Structure formats: C-alpha cells, structure tokens
Chain A
C-alpha cells in the first residue's frame, strides 16, 4: 500500500511537474490573456503606462516608469517588449509586457550632450532599434547643436552607432514589414536601405501633389500602422484658392506611398487605417470615417472632447480614441457611436496608443 502510494505520488508529481513545465513554456505575454486578444497600452501623466484589456475595455494594470512623461512608445516585433521614450525624450525604458515592469532604462545623454529621441522604429529581427536623435551641446557660454542623426541601437549590447545624419524636422520613423526599408518623415521622406545603410531616396513632401495641388501641411506627428500595416497621417493642400485635405498613406508591406485626396478639409490631428484597408478614421473635434476606395468622408460624429489620436482593434470593430484628457473613449467603428469611456488616472501624456494583438 505504502509502496503503491509512493509510486502513485511519484507519477503524480512527475505529471504535475511536466504540466508546470509545459505551462511555463507557453509564451504568457500578458498575464491572463489568450492568443488573438487585443491589449492596449497608453502612457499617462506623469509616469505610468496603463494596460487596458480590450476584451472588457477596462484598465487592468499599470506599469510604473522610472522617469516622468512617456512621450512615445513602440512594441517589439515579438510583442514581448514596449520601448517607451521618457525623461524629456532622453531615456528609453524597456518594459517586459509579460512581467508588466520596466526592465531597464537606456540613458542617451551624457556630459555636455543632451540627446533626445524624436521617433523610433524596431527592426523585425528584434535585435535593433532605429532612433532619430537630436543633440544639444551645452558649452560653457553657448548652447549649440549637432546634426540630427539616425542611430542604430543594438538591443543586445546596448551599443549605439550613427547610421546617417539627416536634415532637421524628422518626427517619425517607419520601418517596412520586411525590415529592408526605414522611412524618415519630415519635410522630406528619406528612404534608407537598412542593409547597405544608405539613403536611397529623398522625396520632398512640401511640393505639388499628383493632382496639382500644393501641399501646405502634413501632420506626421502621430500615426500607427499596428493593425493595418499602413502608416497614415492627414495632409492639407491648396489647389488654387480651394483648400484640400487627404491622407498620406505609407504601406509598410508594399512600400507604396500614396496621397489620397478626401476633398473639403476637416481638421484632424491623426488618422488610422482599418485592418481591411477599406476605411480610415480621423480625430480632433469629431470622429470621422473615410472610405479609402471611394475617397470620401462617409460618417462624422461630433464629440464633446478634443482628441489627438486613435487606434483600431484587430477586427476593425472598435476605435480607441485618446489624448488631451484622462480617458480613452471607445467608439463603434461602423456607426461611430460612443460605446464606453475608460477612465485613466491622469491625462494621456502624449497621444501614443499602442494596441497589441497577442500572437
């Protein structure tokens, strides 16, 4: 009896051990999550990233940062890490999404040099980040600058090296899905071959568009290609005395750049393209739905709050809208009806909403 019991216990322990081992082997990216689920990460003032479960549209956790004011945020290709820019853009904090905590903070400034990140992108190989870095040099009696540059950060060694100097004015970096092309968005769009590390194209933006209108403003400060693979931002142009507005679309899969005229201007801070690539959405004073095929606005909903940016769920059914206030408003993407408002403990620090669909 004793012997049998011991053997049974031993087998049970082995089975339990195996199960534990098996469970440990499952990539538990977000605790309590399942593959295919959407999770939203929002930086809020002054030093937090809020975790929102998009299945319930509720805040389920908060991650405390090491520095104040998260102002930019991207996700690693394997969706295990968040890279958050803080400390007046001088620090890059690495968040382990599974553990929901900051693993390390990479400080860019040293001595006389204050280095600030104005745009970043993660290479799909998961080994490197591209940073657009602007440097202020504090001399004894003078503040001066060094030319802005694209810096490659080796995520293993944490070593940084300059890839190329770039003109002033770049605000965003976008990388193609295959990792071969890095695009810098400023007054020009530079295309950098990530293999040869050469600038292979320079396209002036503030010039005439294919339809003859003259581009007067491109608001490429915010923009997310998380779900659709298409980076989109609003542009404003002038055709004679006719103001025009449209979307600049950069397809990170096909590497195609497009200007889609939408007609009469509607003030927008940012836009996002739906996963089906048929529709795009914009926000500022109202939430706007645009048909990219018929090239026109199909629905507009005034909203009581001003919002700077938005992201879309992986099934294209829900819009997450935030910025300029302590909440994320959730809209039905079809009707533009407000579904719910998710309260946050502080104002959204900058308008970066990162939406992750778990692999």
Chain B
C-alpha cells in the first residue's frame, strides 16, 4: 500500500513523458513520416523533400494542381532555378511523366489552349477582364487556362507573384494589382477547378500503336499526305516512321520518337536524314481515332505544319486532293486523290466530284493514290463540295469557281522577332488565299467560296506611322514563299538613335489569276519586335 503512490507517480511520470514525446513527434511530423512517405511514389521522392505528404500521402502543393506536360516541365525548371532542386534529366522526365499522367488535363480541358502548346501565335480571346488585366498583360491566357487548381492553390498564386516579382505592382501601377488579382483568382477558381468530371472520367490510356494516315498543310509549301507507323518502345513511348508526299510531288521520310502523356497528349520529335529536327505536338480525340496538332521546327517553331492523323483500318479512306479548287470551265484536268485502301477495281463512275464535274478516266491507281482526268463544265456551281468514292469516308473537299475575285493574306497581323546574334530569329510565314464572291456577287460576305492558297509574289511596304519612317529598310526580308526573315537583333548604328531593327510594315501579296488582266493584291500588317529573351514551355 505504502508503495502504491510511488508506483502511481512513476507510472504517471512515465505516461507524461510518453505523451510529451508523442506530442513533440506529432508536431515535428515524425509520426506520420514513415507511413506517408511510404505512400509517396518513388518517382516523387525528390519532390517530397520539401513537399511533405499528408495522411493520404498527398504532397503539399503538388497534389492540388493539374497541368499539361509542358506545365509540369515548367514547374520542375522553376524548382531548379529558384529552389536549387538537384535532379537529373531522366529523373525530371520521370517526374513530368508521372504528374502529367496522374495530375494532367483531360482532352476537353486541353482543347481550348492547344494553340499555345502547338506554338501558334494567335490573338487570344480573354473571357474575363480581371484575368486580362491581372494576368494576361504578362502571360498568355493559355498558360493560365492550362492549369487546374484548388481554391487555396489559386490563391497562393497571388502571394507567389508578389513574393517572386515584388516589382510587378509598379509595372502594373495603373491598376490596383492585389485587388485585381483577387477578382481574377475568384474567376479562375470557379472556371478552372482542380476536381472535374472531365478528368475523373478520362481513362488516361489509349491504344496508339499501329499505322496512321497523315493529312497536313504547311503554309508556304502546300498540302501533304502520307502515313506514319507507330511502334511501341516502352511504356507510353513510341518509335515512328513517317512517309509523306507534298502535292508538288516532293517526298519526305522521317523517323522519330514520342511519349504519350495521360493517354492522349503526343509529344514527339522526328528528323529526316539530313533535315531539321521537328517537334510534334498532337492530341488524340476522345474516340481514339484522330490525332490533331502541329509539327514545327525545333529551332524555329514558327515554321511548321497543321497535321491530322487518322487511324488506318481496312476501310477505304479519302484523305484529300492535289488541288483545293477547280476553275470552270476546264477540260482534261489531272487531279490526284490521296487516301488508303483504294480498290484496284475502281472505275471513273465510282468517283463523285459533285455537280458539274465529270471524271473522264482514271489515269493512275495505287492503294494510296489515284490520279483522274476530269472536266469541269461551265454550269458547275461555284461552291465547295465533298469528293466521294462509293461509301468511303472522305476528308477531301474541292471548290469550283469561275473567277477569283479577291485574295487575302493570313495571318492579317504577323509578329516576327529579331535574332541571329544573341537570340534565335522568329520568322513569320504568310500565305495568300483566293476567294470567289459566291452567289451574292459581293466580296467578303458569308457566301464567298474559299479556293485555297495561291502562289503570290511577295513584297514589303512601309506602314507609315511618322514622317521619317524607314522601318522597311531595316526590319528584314520576305521570300517568294511568303516567309519573312527578320534582321539581326541588337542596336544598329546605321539607324537613327542606333535603334534596333524593329518596325511595323505591310506585307503585300500580288497575284494574277489565270486569264486575268489585272493583278489582285492584298496585304497584312507585320510587327517586327525585339527577341523573346525568356522562353517558356507555355508562354
């Protein structure tokens, strides 16, 4: 009895000690560490050094964001640059792959912003004024819309920006940036939430290996067709072999490799034996039958091609034609039809070009290419029509016209960047498109018929903004494919105030249609500006 109090005291002291140790351990996160660390995927071990896992193994910050592969790559780059992350290239690639697969974007979420991933310079439509003012004055809207975050994570973006870029409030002094950022974040949290049905339902896996048919268009060079063999090389990694033929007869073969993220985001590169390295950014449709995207030069991403891949089956498929339009009347015109599984038994009457066009004969027939000789009657209506062979699927369209009424230049506003000394040049490719006025006889109305690209002559003209304007002498040159090549970067002592070779000019296309007496002209504005000194995966 006499010892009981002592024993009780010792027991109590012992229990107190255990409780204190447990509390300390809890505060320090020690009790959770081993269990949660075990839940952290091995590939994210380096991330978990700073991003501690919660009770469900979710890494702080990381687990509450979703991004494209480019977005995650950008994040890893920032961790290296700002936070001293030491990571090998292979480790970084594995991190990007894992996060893109597990915390990526669904096809429907990526579709609105593929233009940025595909390196297209476009004028964006910004759906919210606060986002435009607070965010898009520095970033593309795509960079923002390519993310999904929890509300808390969207909010952290504001303090992150104030912490890393303390001068931004001075650059944005015309607005109350912190207040505007709050409004922008409210919009983003509502419209770009972390948890979406689109991502939950997306299976994140698709069957990709096999043969795919290629339809493409390279501005300044023309349409092309072909096929690509895709062979598995490892998990979500592929080896490729492409064969394409341009409508001018040039043929090209390339081999390459690709990784597919989240079951649909194709990121590849390929190269002809002595050609430029080409990057491929394509996205698979939800039904798994079509890839759509762009191929572009790795060194000059402005030079590239719009590309669609169709999965090859045993069915006949018509991909396109060697021409986009046919003049009426015309007789004995040769037109090549590109596709797959063309039957050797095809006869001229099987091929339907629509009213007013008669296929006289098939001159040449292969399983993937056939050439016909046709007549276009004078009464053929001016309009675009599908070209069909029996019940085969067809992506081939051709327009009929009696007269080319006008041409336009695309893009109507071009942007090039000086380079060649410190930074790479950013070119701008222009293309002249022909139109006929359509039934109303008026130009630039909805019933006009697009006739496709024409081979225009190209020149530059001064866009006079002040009496001493002399930009056209300095900004650069345009070749006869419509490719503008900017001048070199840096101060030019030959210019007033040693200005850079920047400027604003007109790009003029001149085209004389067959049989016309007067040439048609059209022009587009071109801004030639300073290099992009900081390049990001998403701009």
Which A residues have a C-beta under 8 Å from some C-beta of B?
Answer: 116, 118, 134, 136-137, 140-145, 168-169, 171, 186-187, 206, 216-218, 221, 304-306
Contact = CB atoms under 8 A, between A and B. Distances in A.
B494 interface: no
16 contacts: A116-B166, A118-B166, A134-B166, A136-B166, A140-B52, A141-B52, A141-B60, A142-B61, A145-B162, A171-B170, A171-B173, A186-B173, A217-B174, A221-B170, A304-B497, A305-B497
A187 B166 contact: no
B169 interface: yes
B170 A143 contact: no
Nearest to A137: B163
B132 interface: no
B166 A141 contact: no
Interface in B158-191: 159-160, 162-164, 166, 169-170, 173-174, 176-178
Which 5 residue pairs are nearest across A and B when measured between Cβ atoms?
A: A143-B163, A136-B163, A169-B169, A144-B159, A141-B50
B174 A168 contact: no
A145 B163 contact: yes
Given A141-B61, A145-B159, A216 B174 contact: yes
Contacts of B176: 169, 187, 206
A217 B159 contact: no
A221 B169 CA distance: 12
Contacts of B397: none
B51 interface: yes
Given A136-B166, A171-B173, 19 more contacts: A118-B166, A140-B52, A141-B51, A141-B60, A141-B61, A143-B82, A143-B163, A145-B163, A168-B162, A169-B169, A169-B173, A169-B176, A171-B170, A206-B176, A216-B174, A217-B173, A217-B174, A304-B498, A306-B497
A172 to B, nearest CB: 10
Contacts of B169: 168-169
A118 B169 CA distance: 12
A187 B162 contact: no
A218 B163 contact: no
A143 B160 contact: yes
Contacts, number: 54
B156 A142 contact: yes
Nearest to B172: A169
Contacts of A217: 173-174
Contacts of B162: 145, 168
Contacts of B497: 304-306
A336 to B, nearest CB: 17
A216 B177 CA distance: 14
Nearest to B49: A140
Which of B61, B156, B173 lies at the interface centre, i.e. has the most chain A CB atoms within 10 A of its CB?
B173
Contacts of A144: 156, 159-160, 163
B76 to A, nearest CB: 14
Contacts of A116: 166
B172 to A, nearest CB: 9
Contacts of A304: 497-498
A118 B163 CA distance: 14
A218 B173 contact: yes
Contacts of B170: 169, 171, 221
Contact of A169 (B60, B61, B177): B177
A271 B285 CA distance: 59
Nearest to A304: B497
Contacts of A187: 173, 176
Contacts of B163: 136-137, 143-145
Interface in B15-71: 50-52, 60-61
Contacts of A142: 61, 156, 160
A304 B491 CA distance: 13
A145 B181 CA distance: 15
A184 to B, nearest CB: 13
A142 B176 CA distance: 24
Interface in B140-169: 156, 159-160, 162-164, 166, 169
Contact of B50 (A118, A140, A305): A140
Given A141-B60, A142-B156, A144-B159, A206 B174 contact: yes
A216 B175 CA distance: 9
Interface string B212-225: 00000000000000
Contact of A168 (B50, B156, B164, B178): B178
B177 A168 contact: yes
Contacts of B50: 140-141
Which of A187, A217, A306 lies at the interface centre, i.e. has the most chain B CB atoms within 10 A of its CB?
A187
A141 B164 CA distance: 14
B84 to A, nearest CB: 11
A143 B61 contact: no
Interface string B97-129: 000000000000000000000000000000000
B164 A143 contact: yes
A145 B163 CA distance: 5
B61 to A, nearest CB: 5
A145 B157 CA distance: 12
Nearest to B60: A141
Contact of A136 (B60, B156, B164, B173): B164
A138 to B, nearest CB: 8
B379 to A, nearest CB: 55
A144 B178 CA distance: 14
